Structure 1
Amino acid sequence: MKITTPRRLLATAVLALTAMAGGAVPGQAETAPAQRAAAALPAGYQVLRGGPATVDNFTRLTLACPAGKVIVGGGADIQSPGGGVLLGSFPSNVGGVYQWNVVARQEKQAQVTTYGYAVCVDSAALPGYQIVRVPAAEVANGASRQATCPAGKVVVGGGAEAQGASAALRFSTSPRPKGTDYLWTASGRSLAGTTVGLAVDAICANPIPGYEIVESAATETPNLTRRGQACPTGKTALSGGAGGYNTAILTSMLPELIDAASGYRWAAAVREPARAGAISSVTAICTNLT
């Protein structure tokens, strides 16, 4: 199906589940190895991966949490990196089913290939859970918008969607400036215009044991270099975010397993359309692992 109006999501596809590691049957998701020996993890902690899926540009791909679970994080890994553009990586609740959504496109081609990721936990593990959404609005290139958690709650995850025929996500991450642990902030840009549509989501909950936000230093690397931010010893990534500086745009942002003892880190890649290198940083929102 051809997407004729890229500002709207006219097509939706469900990502088939695959295992994060060997040993699981396709169509099922494997529990993170760390969970087997780590009772301190939020109950039902589970990382799902879907794909790869090759779809028309601007198609929304969805990955749903199992019944009784809520979404706390997620991401995407575009497999067409040279001209791959990440437009959206964000949570939603459709008919009581919590899911992660991915929207991407491939420059100069009609289709794009991507993986999708979702991090889920039992609903009872996050008292006060809610998704706060700031609906899409047109903003200037590079401008940021924020979704704010209610008083007494912290941000445990979040997402954003840039909208427009030439749109791209610039960053989608936990708080800036530091110390504002109740915000999710995002920015987008149009690669061929001066404004971009931008919606932002914050996933909020009451404070949880071991809650901590860590961020890598802003560093310049060759385009599409995968960077990761691990949590401190004894903690694992519940969710995370990333961003490009100047005119850099996101091409991937996802949970990445370190090993069974260390749990997950958050990883991302960016590219600068007019340069060979780009400046980026990665953020991980952490919870107790052991």
Structure 2
Amino acid sequence: MTEQSVPRIFSRSRVKSRILRQNLRAAMPCAQQFIWQDICDDTAERIAFVKHEPKRRLVLGMCHDPLRAMLDHCNGDFSDGADWNIEEPFPQGGYDLIAVVGLLDAVNDLPGALIHIRNGLVPGGLAIASFVGGASLPRLRAAMLSADGDRPAARIHPMVDPRAVPQLLQRAGWKDPVVDTHTLTVRYSSLDQLVSDLRDHGLTGALSNAGPPLGKAALERARAAFGSQADADGKTAETFEIITLTGRRSLSGT
């Protein structure tokens, strides 16, 4: 897509800011990183399963063990993604492996980002990208609707439906593309605890035109609505859908 035709749903500066805040929170002893840990564990298993041994790798996003341990012997880069605009051509290429942990949930031009990932690979190189998908946070969404009443505001990102992704990968020229999903279910005693976990993961707002802050009364309605969805023990089960894309650049380099 051309720059003019791509809707500017997400703010690049806000995306960068949430990554930087995530890095600060991740350094705290009690910070929650279960989503990124799950993705890194899964990515490491996938690399081992296909017996891919990259000589030069790029990992964008949070990189935890065992993925970091598996790839420490390779040349290349680890980056939290704050200084990479994945919607633009990569400043360097020639990677045998590109792994993206998160990041693709908040891009304006997802087809363009997928093309840039492919172009960053050597012929036959492997790409694995995982991010939070469209079936995530149903309880939070319901709570926000209750908080806003008849005038709902834009508070939660539009998220990718995995059913639409295979066609995007084909358009982007990924060879042997595979899309799969799994879910993480986490039980919370309060809305505030969920929001804290989202901040730890850098999954806070990055919309270009976000809604106004919740007032005190609206926040209390949101808390009450979230609590009303709790199980008998008082905890509310929230869901995170993880979408994982895998594919290669063709041996011909196209």
TM-score strictly above 0.5: no
Larger radius of gyration: 2
TM-score normalized with structure 2 length:
0.29
Higher relative contact order (Cα pairs below 8 Å, separated by 6+ residues): 2
Higher strand share: 1
Higher helix share: 2
TM-score normalized with structure 1 length:
0.26
